[in-house]
Amino acid sequence: MAEDRKQRRDAAANRERILTAAEEAFRARGMAVDMRAIAAAAGVGIGTLYRHFPTREDLVQAVTGTDLADLAQAALPGRVTAIAALRQFFTATLTQLTGNQAMVDLLAAGSPSDADLERCLEHLTEIGRAAVDRSRTDRTLAPDVTASDIAYQLLGLIRIAQLLPDSGPEAVGHHVELALRGLATR
């Protein structure tokens, strides 16, 4: 019986090492990282990695699921105009994401393929609705801007962040301002 517990502890420790190595690798190099490199960084064999995570998608989900959930909980800042709130939201979101290449790759890849990503995209549209509602009072967004337009602008910015050679705060701020010009009232 003690041997079984030791094996279970070893399996749990292996799983944690794999998750830590994968998170670090995905954040630094994105979705294209080699699974063998993750296994080596975790100090386990490739078979052990695949016993815990049978597919790349399983590993990506385990690593990015929390980040997607955090993004899906983010709210539009209060007590500022719609355009100022979007500036803060877009900048904070992109700043968070540019530190995680796998999240940028995942969100820039296109259509949602799992429930977490779909909930995240629905939430971005809700953020857009809140901004459009706020703009009915402060008139800082162009009258033809929709909630979907706002969600797609953020997704477009995420794609831009994926392509930028320098995704530092200055570059993020510049592209946020460019996107907001297209949403602002003229």
Q: What are the DSSP calls for 135-171, one per residue? A: HHHH--B-TT--HHHHHHHHHHHHHHHHH-S--SHHH
**Helix (H/G/I), strand (E/B), else coil: 74:** coil
Higher pLDDT, 5 or 168: 168
100 shares its domain with 144: yes
Cβ neighbourhood burial of 173 (10 Å; 0-12, 13-18, 19+): middle
First-to-final CA distance of the chain: 73
Averaged pLDDT for residues 103-124? 70
* Most confident of the ranges 17-31, 94-108, 144-158: 144-158
Domain boundary among 11, 35, 54: 54
- Tell me what percent of the residues of the chain surpass a pLDDT of 70: 89
7 and 68 assigned to the same domain: no
Domain total in the chain: 2
Q: Which two tokens stand for residue 55?
A: 């597919």
Contact 68, 117 (CB under 8 A): yes
- In a shared domain, residues 30 and 78: no
Asked which of 9-13, 24-28, 109-113 is least confident by mean pLDDT, the reply is 109-113
What does the pLDDT read at residue 112? 47
| Nearest CA among 18, 21, 176, 36 for reference residue 97 | 176
Which residue, among 124, 130, 126, 123, has the nearest Cα to 81 in the 3D structure?
130
Are 160 and 171 in contact by the 8 Å Cβ rule? The answer is no
Q: Which residues pair with 184 in a beta bridge?
A: 141
Q: Give residue 133's pLDDT.
A: 97
- Count of positions (residues) in the chain: 186
Mean pLDDT of 106-124: 69
Predicted confidence at residue 177, as pLDDT, reads 96
Q: What is the pLDDT of residue 5?
A: 64
Beta bridge partners of 180: none
Name the one residue in this structure whose structure tokens are 């790349």.
56
Contact 112, 121 (CB under 8 A): yes
81 and 41 in a single domain? The answer is no
CATH number at residue 25: 1.10.10.60
56 compared with 41, residue with greater pLDDT = 41
**pLDDT value at residue 77:** 93
- Return the higher-pLDDT residue of 177 and 111: 177
Looking at the fold, whether 151 and 73 belong to one and the same domain comes out as yes
Residue 63's pLDDT band, with cuts at 50, 70 and 90, is: confident
Distance of alpha carbon 19 from alpha carbon 63, whole angstroms? 6
| CA 171 – CA 165 distance, rounded (Å) | 10
40 and 127, same domain (yes or no): no
* Pair (121, 85) in one structural domain: yes
Q: Which domain holds residue 159?
A: 63-183
CB atoms within 10 A of CB 57: 11
62 near 52, Cβ under 8 Å?
no
